[in-house]
Structure 1
Amino acid sequence: MRTRLIAAGAALLAVLASLVAMSQTAQAAAGLRVTGGKIYEANGNQFIMRGTSHAHTWFPSQTGSFANIKSLGANTVRVVLSGGRWTANSASDVANVISLCKQNRLICVLENHDTTGYGEQSGAYTLDQAVNYWIGLKSVLTGQENYVVINLGNEPYGNNNVSGWTSATTAAIARMRSNGFQHMLMVDAPNWGQDWQFVMRDNAAAVFNSDPQKNTVFSIHMYGVFDTAAEITSYLQAFQTAGLPLVIGEFGNMHSDGDPDEDTIMAQAQSRGIGYMGWSWSGNSGGVEYLDQVTNFNVNQLTSWGQRLFNGANGIKSTAKEATIYSGQPPQSPSASPSVSPSASPSASPSASPSVSPSVSPSPGGSRGCSATYRVTNQWGGGFQGEVVVTAGSGGVNGWTVTWTYANGQTVTQSWNATLTSSGASVTARNVSYNGTLGAGASTSFGFLGSYGSTNSVPSVSCAAA
């Protein structure tokens, strides 16, 4: 009998251990994830990254930066790590970084900087070597899937032999999954992150589909290559049309290879629901000190770039929403990707100074109604970008329809965050699945591209609640 009891007890323990393991696996798989081309938390709430990069590997003592970055409104911090190209960040160090992110209610994007400029810069690591580093950190990364995104390798190819990016990235994802990583993975573009040869853009679908978990996000770095509104809009639209997840993993307000159009980058990210992370908090050198957002890691000494990123229009302070894992907000059902009408982006070069039209008067709607404002956010020869903000009345709405009629022959060529149809000069925009329900006084927005002739006057708009 005693032997049977011992055996029965051992069997019960084995079953319990199996259940615990299954529970841990399920919990791990339920971390940050991609659904319909967007990023969601495990509870179904959409998460849009708004943050900056912190060069932890070169400034490991600046741990106060996490709290300072959070104090300016960020919901995400991208943390620079090294596996040996510079002084390696150990497992205990990375565990502390994750702890600092969690203490400060930030989503932690951990990136391996060793791969920067592979094929062009001496000493750069391969993506396969980067995976070795992540495998070495698995003990401190497992169980953190709700809080951590793994950015496999920073700017993993320079401008040489970039065709190798696709197979190298696919192989890196496969190794991460075969080694049990359940995390959302982020992959950077070649061409020093700027993808000017469109290797990432044109092969993103194949790379995404190679991930057995379909939980890979693409990251574009926007510097001098993206110095016009047309270039920015065209690139973002390509991913949105394909229904593929994209974040702007780095961008600045100036750069030695050209002057990025940060205003359009931020406006487009906001109107499309795309995450962005500026580069970088502090400590830049080698002629790019102008990319520091604060001077000498002092949160009270914001630079002009820091002011723009955190406090400017479409900036972090006004647009960031904290991950609900930290606030216990109720779950929502994940939505499908936005309805987008594919069309070629305008080829004309935008004007240096966007022509912004005033908002129209809100339409009357009463307590159950809604109002809408229309504005031109950017304009160039023959083309423009517009935005409409929809605001619910005091009773909230469960759906909305916005209409307007153009007076000067304008036409809409692309749209996002709304289902938009045209009949002659009349335009009708209806909510999509994820932005129709608005609480009292809550707002959402949708955007579009259009063409015009000699005049682009602002039409009157009407909003009707469903």
Structure 2
Amino acid sequence: MNRTPFFQAAALLAAAATITALPGAAHAAGPATPGFRVVDGRLVDATGQDFVLRGVNHAHTWYADRTERALSDVKALGANSVRVVLGTGTRWTKNDAADVADVVARCKANRLICVLEAHDTTGYGEQGGAASLSEAVDYWLEVASALKGQEKYVIVNLGNEPYGNSGYAAWTQDTKNAIGRLRAAGLDHTLMVDAPNWGQDWSHTMRDNAPAVFASDPDRNTVFSVHMYGVYDTAAEVEEYLGSFVDRGLPVVVGEFGHDHSDGDPDEDAVMATARRLGLGYLGWSWSGNGGGVEYLDLAEGFDASRLTAWGERLFNGPDGIRPTSREAGVYGDGGHGNGCSVAYRLHSWGTGFNADVTVRNTGALPLKGWKLEFALPDGNTVNSSWNAVVTQDGRQVRATGRPWTEVVPAGGAVSFGLNATGPGAVPTAFSLDGVACAKE
């Protein structure tokens, strides 16, 4: 995929990092690594829990002044990870070790996993001035002081889309060489390697050579990343490609994807549904600031989290989206969930009907925006109306979401709403907030 110089990043992006992992399962310890590792084809965090990437890309190298707010906003929208665009100095201004260390610190402050990628390799062999994978390794070694000791929080993405549609046969050996140099230099992080062909691997170079590349890593700690744009415009193509890795026990990520692109119309619904079904992660392109004719890939208008685009609403809140499927990394110490919660349900029944006053409390360290509370009512109970929340019912299942004035539950704070229903009523036996079980008050 060719891009214009300014935000080729924008058009080449949508990095949906997907990892073969099912939420919540624990694994026996693999090789003695201090952070993330690959076990049985899955990405496992430092606590031994499967971790499935659910996040977005942020173009830090062009919008460094937006990074602090961007990370806070995507976390509040449910992301558990962010892929951060860095410049190596070959094509774009270098993000030095001090800057990389600051990015990592901001990711940790927001309880996000940082996927750091060297962007200057984009389209090597076809794009003039692009960096080679060897030059990308030079960069990672130069900023190694910001990486070492952060293996629990950082995944190193060797180089973005390291070949275009020319010369890509060299991808296999160049990738092996890059992995070998980083391991020899003492980098023990999980490494992520992007596919050639502008990330889309239409030639199946990465797919066919993945076993050999994985075996070349002495740590057996490499994850493969495909970028799904116009080449993947049908569900069959998405499922066949990702399934080929899963069937062979190889870890794969959807490195980037979007809802539209100049090279075709990717099937984003299939990408997200297949990722959920197979337990794979993804990172959508991109938070904001796209140019060069691909402005439609912005998830938020003008870096404003209150103005999500249709693509942003789809990625964060739609079926198989970030909010309903994301789980925080266990390394942050709360069992893999970003926000603890409790619910008070006060029932006022008169036999044939009832009102319920519901208080949703956020016991975590970060605000919850666009929350979704779910619970079940007994058979024969029907919700008639609600206040301070939008309440819908499907059979016994009830879902409540905030109104504009109650859509944010502050860290350590609460919001309340009420509902009226027919039937005798009963206090629900369980509540879940954004898919996380809540304590009952």
* TM-score, normalised by the number of residues in structure 2: 0.68
- Does the CA-based 8 Å contact 1:51-1:277 persist in structure 2? yes
Give the Cα separation in 1 of the matches to 2:306 and 2:32. Answer: 38
Is 1:113–2:119 an aligned residue pair? Answer: yes
Ranges in structure 1 where 5+ consecutive residues have no aligned partner: 1-25, 331-439, 443-466
How big is the shift at 1:249? Answer: 1.2
How big is the shift at 1:27? Answer: 11
How big is the shift at 1:161? Answer: 1.3
Match of 1:31 among 7, 11, 35: 35
**How many pairs align?**
308
Question: Superposed, which structure 2 residues align to 1:215-294 within 5 Å?
Answer: 215-294=221-300
Residue 150 of structure 1 aligns to a residue whose secondary structure is: strand
How big is the shift at 1:441? Answer: 9.6
- Give the corresponding residue for 1:55: 59
- Give the corresponding residue for 1:136: 142
- Give the corresponding residue for 2:92: 86
Give the Cα separation in 1 of the matches to 2:97 and 2:32. Answer: 19
Amino acid at match of 2:253: V
Amino acid at match of 1:37: G
- Give the corresponding residue for 2:159: 153
How big is the shift at 1:299? Answer: 0.6
- Does the CA-based 8 Å contact 1:51-1:75 persist in structure 2? yes
Question: Superposed, which structure 2 residues align to 1:421-460 within 5 Å?
Answer: none
Q: Higher RCO, 1 or 2 (CA under 8 Å, sep at least 6)? A: 2
The CA RMSD over aligned residues, in Å, is 1.6
Amino acid at match of 2:98: S
Match of 2:102 among 75, 92, 96: 96
Amino acid at match of 1:241: D
How big is the shift at 1:29? Answer: 1.9
- Does the CA-based 8 Å contact 2:31-2:219 persist in structure 1? no
Give the Cα separation in 2 of the matches to 1:114 and 1:28. Answer: 32
Give the Cα separation in 2 of the matches to 1:28 and 1:253. Answer: 39
Residue 249 of structure 1 aligns to a residue whose secondary structure is: strand
Cα distance change on mapping 1:93 and 1:183 into 2, 3 Å: same
Residue 277 of structure 2 aligns to a residue whose secondary structure is: helix
Residue 61 of structure 1 aligns to a residue whose secondary structure is: helix
- Does the CA-based 8 Å contact 1:228-1:260 persist in structure 2? yes
Residue 66 of structure 2 aligns to a residue whose secondary structure is: coil
How big is the shift at 1:28? Answer: 8.4
Match of 2:70 among 58, 65, 71: 65
- Give the corresponding residue for 2:45: 41
Give the Cα separation in 1 of the matches to 2:334 and 2:304. Answer: 32
Give the Cα separation in 2 of the matches to 1:27 and 1:58. Answer: 37
Give the Cα separation in 2 of the matches to 1:278 and 1:43. Answer: 26
Give the Cα separation in 1 of the matches to 2:317 and 2:299. Answer: 11
Give the Cα separation in 2 of the matches to 1:303 and 1:274. Answer: 24
How big is the shift at 1:281? Answer: 0.4
Give the Cα separation in 1 of the matches to 2:172 and 2:31. Answer: 30
Residue 99 of structure 2 aligns to a residue whose secondary structure is: helix
Give the Cα separation in 1 of the matches to 2:283 and 2:158. Answer: 16
- Does the CA-based 8 Å contact 2:202-2:231 persist in structure 1? yes
Cα distance change on mapping 1:27 and 1:191 into 2, 3 Å: closer
Give the Cα separation in 2 of the matches to 1:148 and 1:28. Answer: 17
- Give the corresponding residue for 1:10: none
- Does the CA-based 8 Å contact 1:28-1:142 persist in structure 2? no
How big is the shift at 1:44? Answer: 1.1
Amino acid at match of 1:275: G
* Cα-to-partner distance string for 1:404-440 (whole Å, 9 max, x where unaligned): xxxxxxxxxxxxxxxxxxxxxxxxxxxxxxxxxxxx9
Amino acid at match of 1:83: T
Give the Cα separation in 1 of the matches to 2:162 and 2:33. Answer: 27
Runs of 4+ in 1 over 3 A off after TM superposition: none
How big is the shift at 1:140? Answer: 1.1
Amino acid at match of 1:261: D
* Cα-to-partner distance string for 1:27-51 (whole Å, 9 max, x where unaligned): 9822001000010012210000000
Give the Cα separation in 2 of the matches to 1:307 and 1:147. Answer: 27
Tell me the percent identity.
59
* Cα-to-partner distance string for 1:373-418 (whole Å, 9 max, x where unaligned): xxxxxxxxxxxxxxxxxxxxxxxxxxxxxxxxxxxxxxxxxxxxxx
Cα distance change on mapping 1:441 and 1:36 into 2, 3 Å: farther
How big is the shift at 1:199? Answer: 0.1
Match of 1:191 among 197, 202, 205: 197
Residue 144 of structure 1 aligns to a residue whose secondary structure is: coil
Amino acid at match of 1:82: G
- Does the CA-based 8 Å contact 2:38-2:221 persist in structure 1? yes
Is 1:297–2:318 an aligned residue pair? Answer: no
